[in-house]
Structure 1
Amino acid sequence: MTPAEIAGRLRDPAALALAGPSEADGAWALRPERMIAAAVLVPIVLHPQPTVLLTLRSARLSAHGGQVSFPGGRIEAGETPEAAAVREAAEEVGLDPRLPELLGRLPEHATGTGFRIIPVVGLVPAPLLLTPDAGEVEEPFEVPLSLILDPAAPERRHGEWKGQRREFWVWPHDRHYIWGATAAILVNLARVLRG
C-alpha cells in the first residue's frame, strides 16, 4: 500500500465509516466526566514495505506495565489530541516531532480502565532513529502493515476480568502479546485501510 493510498483512505469518510465500535465492555457506562482523555500516535513507518510502530511498555510502570501500546498518553489542558500524540511519541521513543505527517483520526476507544483514547494516524519516514525513555518503554518494535491488512490475522478471544466475561482482539506476534485497546485500534486501522 502506497503512502498516497494510506492518506486517501484516512481522509475518506466512507472508509472511516468502516471502523467498528471500539470500546471495552461497559466502558461507555462510565460517567464521561470521569474518563481520562488520552491520545496515541499510530505511526505508519514508510519502509519499502510499510510497518506500524508499537512499544512494549516498561514492566516497572504502575499502569499497563509490560503491555504493548502505541506511543501516547494523557491530553494536557489546552492541548489537541494531535499535539498530545506527537508530544508523547517524542517523550516515550524520541521520535522527532517534526517527522509525522498527520493524516487523521480513527474512532475513539474507551477502555474499561477509564481512558478515552483518540488514535491519531501519521506517516513517518524511514529509517527511524529512536531513543526510547527506559523508564517508560522497554522496547519499540515494528509490525508489518501487510499483517495488519490481513483479515485472517487478528483473533477474537475472551477472558474474565473483575468477575465479568470480556471479549478482545489479539494480533499474532512472535515475541509480544498484542491485545486490548492496541489490538482494537489496529483492527479499526485495518478496516479503514482495506476499504
Structure 2
Amino acid sequence: MAATVPPAWPKSGRAGRRAPRSRSRWRRASPTAGSPTCWPTWPRREHIDTSGPPRIGVSGPPGRGGPQLIPRPDGWRPGDPAPWAGVADRTLTLDRVLAAVEGRQPAGVRGRQHTGEEQAAGVLVALYDDDGPHVVLTRRSPRLASHTHEVSFPGGRHDADDPDLWSTALREATEETGLGPTVPRLVGHLDLLTTVGSGSIIHPFVALLPGRPDLVANPDEVEAVLHVPLAELLLDGVYREEEWDFPGGPWRITFFELVGDTVWGATAAMLRQLLCLTLGVDDPLGYVRVDGDA
C-alpha cells in the first residue's frame, strides 16, 4: 500500500499577504467526581511526554488525565459536581445534540466582564457520528512557544482578511488539521466566552461533518487530533470543577479527564455548555449579557 502523503499545509499568510503570523493563541483559563461505575475501555490516545513538572491536586479514575500543566493558584478549592450528576439517562445521539443547538444564537457572553476591547476568535465545534456523537479536538504542538500539549477546539483569532468569524474557524481548522475540502454544515452557536489571560472573546460554531473526518495534524501547530465521544465526557469521575480566586471574586474552572489528556478552562467550559443544552439541565456557569446587564 502506498504511503499516505501528508497534505501541503496552507500557510497562515496567503499569496500576496503578510508573512505567516506567530501562532500564539488565547490563554485558556475561564470553569465531581462521582464514584466510577463500569468504565468503558476508550482507546488510549497518542503517547505524550510526561517528563515535565507533575500536576497537582488532580483527582479522577486511574489512567485518566494528561501531562497538561495546570497553573493553579494558592488556595484553590474543589468545586461542585457535574450539572448532570442527577441525570439518570445520559444517552446521547447525534440527533439529540443537533436538536439542542439547531439555529441557536449566543444568549450572552460568559466569562469575565466583557469590555468590548477583546480580540475576536472563532473555534469549530465539529461533530460527527461514529456509533454515537463525537467531537474533534486538537492537542497543541510541543513546537509552540507556550501552552504546549493544551487541548482545544480547532480555531484561532480573526484575521483581517477573513470575511467573518465562521470563515476564521474554517480557515484555522484547515491550517491545523487539513479539514478542507469538506465544508461542515453550520448548525448553531454556543455562547461567546471571554478568556482571563489574553483578552480574547471566543465565538464557538457548532458544525456537522458528514462522517468521521480524515484529519492529519499539522506538526507545526498540532501534536495530535483527538476524536472524543461525547458520551465519555458524561461518565462519572470524568468531569470536575475547581474554584480559583481572581480579582473580583472566585471563578469555577471546568475540567474533563480523558484517557491521556486533561481538557480544561475555556474549551472545557464550552463542552460543558454543549452537554447541558443537550441534556436540558441548567448550566450555572455565569455569563454577562450582550447588552451589559449581569
Give the TM bin, normalised by the shorter chain.
0.7 to 0.9
Report if the CA contact (8 A) 1:22-1:185 is conserved: no
Give, in whole Å, the separation in 2 of the partners of 1:151 and 1:10.
Answer: 24
Give 5+ residue unaligned stretches, structure 2.
1-91, 281-294
Give the Å deviation of 1:73. 0.3
Q: Which amino acid aligns with 2:125?
A: V
In the alignment, what sits opposite 1:71?
154
Give, in whole Å, the separation in 2 of the partners of 1:123 and 1:111.
Answer: 26
Deviations 1:126-155 (A, max 9, x none): 332112110100011122111335587421
Match of 2:126 among 43, 67, 70: 43
In the alignment, what sits opposite 2:100?
9
Deviations 1:59-83 (A, max 9, x none): 2323433210000001123522211
Give 5+ residue unaligned stretches, structure 1.
none
Q: Compute the TM-score of the two structures, normalised by the length of structure 1.
A: 0.83
Q: 1:66 to 1:7 in 2, by over 3 A?
A: same
| Pairing 1:32–2:116 present | yes
| Pairing 1:96–2:165 present | no
SS at match of 1:125: coil
Give the Å deviation of 1:21. 6.5
Give, in whole Å, the separation in 2 of the partners of 1:6 and 1:141.
Answer: 19
Over the aligned positions, Cα root-mean-square deviation in angstroms equals 2.7
Match of 1:56 among 129, 139, 146: 139
Deviations 1:22-62 (A, max 9, x none): 31xxx326x422x1100100111211222111111112323
Give, in whole Å, the separation in 2 of the partners of 1:47 and 1:93.
Answer: 19
In the alignment, what sits opposite 2:208?
123
Give, in whole Å, the separation in 2 of the partners of 1:12 and 1:96.
Answer: 24
Greater fraction strand: 1
Report if the CA contact (8 A) 1:53-1:140 is conserved: yes
In the alignment, what sits opposite 1:109?
193
Report if the CA contact (8 A) 1:11-1:104 is conserved: yes
Q: Which amino acid aligns with 2:252?
A: E
Q: Which amino acid aligns with 2:100?
A: R
Give the Å deviation of 1:86. 1.2
SS at match of 2:110: coil
Q: Which amino acid aligns with 1:8?
A: A
Give, in whole Å, the separation in 1 of the partners of 2:152 and 2:252.
Answer: 18
Q: 1:97 to 1:165 in 2, by over 3 A?
A: farther
Give, in whole Å, the separation in 2 of the partners of 1:28 and 1:16.
Answer: 16
Give, in whole Å, the separation in 1 of the partners of 2:142 and 2:243.
Answer: 23
Report if the CA contact (8 A) 2:216-2:225 is conserved: no
| Pairing 1:191–2:276 present | yes
Deviations 1:90-132 (A, max 9, x none): 1101112534121011000100121100100011133321121
Report if the CA contact (8 A) 1:149-1:194 is conserved: no
The count of aligned residue pairs is 186
Identical-residue share of aligned pairs (%):
34
Q: 1:45 to 1:97 in 2, by over 3 A?
A: same
Give the Å deviation of 1:161. 7.3
Greater fraction helix: 1
Give the Å deviation of 1:187. 0.5
